[in-house]
Amino acid sequence: DIQMTQSPSTLSASVGDRVTIACRASQSIGNWLAWYQQKPGKAPKLLIYKASSLESGVPSRFSGSGSGTEFTLTISSLQPDDFATYHCQQYNSFYTFGQGTKLEIK
Amino acid sequence: EVQLVESGGGLVKPGGSLRLSCAASGFTFSNAWMGWVRQAPGKGLEWVGRIKSKTDGGTTDNAVPVKGRFTISRDDSKNTLYLQMNSLKIEDTGVYYCSTDRGYCSGGRCYSGWSDYWGQGTLVTVSS
């Protein structure tokens, strides 16, 4: 089974900050990676697929990069609406999610 | 507009059964792979299983923790996805989401995909 590890688990930041969340796969997954945003009590929302493709309607301040085993999600300038939990997911071999990164207001 | 609406959650005793439904609209359901993802209280997301479109074979795959207990099926005439859960355990408690799966088959090989649409979730509580 492929394991996904996100870091950090919690991130405190301010509006306007640039933030990066990392996701590491236990073996190479090519670019078969997605990122989701989830707010309390709500369903996940797709942000990025194929590691770096921006889902339609998602603001351009979100970007994804990486391949193989190392991936990052970057938010270029945090907005109030961005404080949420972020999940990475590999779909190279079935599916595995990372444990999530909670982005909090500093 | 794509809509996925889950139903059927509730309180059930350990060892009991429950069937979840997911009503789909706004897209060609019969062409879509579909999946179930769950989230235990305060925890991360966990893949439960998926079903391919009938065009791609209609087969199912389940995660190890639910294999042999949970069954995914679909009724394309009703645009509805199902999750039959048997022999429920306390650790099956959580919110269950249905989602679309952008998987596909090509050249004799099948590829899993990302989930671009999700339902609002339905809560399953397994407790005595």
Interface test with B, best of A4, A85, A86, A95 (most B CBs within 10 A): A95
Out of A38, A46, A94, whose CB is closest to B114?
Answer: A46
Report yes or no: B83 and B20 within 8 Å, Cβ to Cβ.
yes
Residue A6 CB burial class (10 angstroms; 0-12, 13-18, ≥19): buried
B42-84: per-residue pLDDT in tens? 999 999 999 999 999 999 999 999 999 999 999 999 999 999 9
Contacts of A91 in chain B (CB under 8 A): 103, 112-114
> Tokens 């989602």 correspond to what residue?
B99
The CA-CA-CA angle for residues B108, B109, B115, to 5°, reads 135
pLDDT tier for residue A85 given thresholds of 50, 70 and 90: very high
Tokens of B35: 């999946």
Out of B47, B116, B121, whose CB is closest to A95?
Answer: B47
Minimal CA separation from A20 to chain B, in Å: 19
Quote the CA–CA distance of B4 and A75 in Å, as a whole number: 28
**pLDDT of the residue at A70:** 98
Quote the CA–CA distance of B73 and A9 in Å, as a whole number: 35
A9-61: per-residue pLDDT in tens? 999 999 999 999 999 999 999 999 999 999 999 999 999 999 999 999 999 99
Minimal CA separation from A47 to chain B, in Å: 9
Quote the CA–CA distance of B125 and B90 in Å, as a whole number: 8
The alpha carbon of residue B57 and the mean position of all alpha carbons in its chain are separated, in whole angstroms, by 17
**pLDDT of the residue at B56:** 95
**Record: contact A92-B121, CB cut-off 8 A:** no
